[in-house]
Amino acid sequence: MDNIGLFDELNVRTCGEGDLDKVLDLESIVLAKLERPDLLRRNTEEMWRTCLQSPHVCLVAWNGDVLVALAVLYVPKDGDTEALAPLLQSVDPEGHKSANFKICLVHPKWRGHHLQVKLGNLLNNEAHQRGIDLLCATASPHNIASIRSLQQLGYRADHTVQKYGFERTVFFYFN
């Protein structure tokens, strides 16, 4: 994959387990600068290892050797408790192939350029190629940047639940 439009200085590619340390570093930088602690939960290293392996897709944007943003498409297996589609109240997921737009992290210095929307659009294309027609995501009701980004990607709010110990709105998008 090449750059993403406006940002010639960013290279976007899929990443794998070899990038785990850089991914964990970005997560720590993002968590340290959160506006509120309940916006994002730290993932376990095991979950990151899972996300960095097939069938999941982790897209990363690099500026030189600095990882500035990432976005994960999580493709649940049958019965996977991480699947969000079964939680939907306004959509019957039966007959759809679903996946989660699990996480997006943007380095605080690189915010304000709609990188969640840009990476999200690339993930939508990737999902489409895999026959995934229903995408789900969660966001804290206080996470305005993420909610605006999800809305710009075409996601709609379904309902709000307690998840990961925090309040989370579940969103969906027909891809």
Ligand X SMILES: CC(C)(COP(=O)(O)OP(=O)(O)OC[C@H]1O[C@@H](n2cnc3c(N)ncnc32)[C@H](O)[C@@H]1OP(=O)(O)O)[C@@H](O)C(=O)NCCC(=O)NCCS
* Short-list 110, 108, 97, 111, CA closest to 149: 111
Candidate residues 43, 124, 143, 169; the one interacting with ligand X per rule CB under 6 A: 143
Binding to ligand X by residue 43, rule CB under 6 A?
A: no
The label of the residue with tokens 């079964």 reads 86
Q: How far is the CB of 15 from ligand X (least distance, A)?
A: 17
Angstrom distances, CA of residue 121 to CA of 9, 21, 71, 102, 159 = 19, 25, 10, 14, 23
Name which position in 47, 66, 145, 157 contacts ligand X (CB under 6 A): 145
List 53, 80, 141, 144, residue binding ligand X (CB under 6 A): 144
Length of the chain: 175
Which residue, 92 or 162, is less far from ligand X as judged by CB? Answer: 162
- If binding is defined by CB under 6 A, does position 22 make contact with ligand X? no
CA triple 8-13-16, angle to 5 deg: 150
Closest approach of ligand X to the CB of residue 87, in Å: 16
Residue owning tokens 């909610």: 147
Least spacing, CB of residue 94 vs ligand X, in Å? 27
Q: Among residues 62, 67, 3, which one has the least CA distance to residue 29?
A: 67
Q: Is 40 in the site for ligand X (CB under 6 A)?
A: yes
**Interface with ligand X, residue 111, by CB under 6 A:** yes
**Interacting residues toward ligand X by CB under 6 A:** 30, 39-40, 103-106, 111-116, 139, 143-146, 148-149
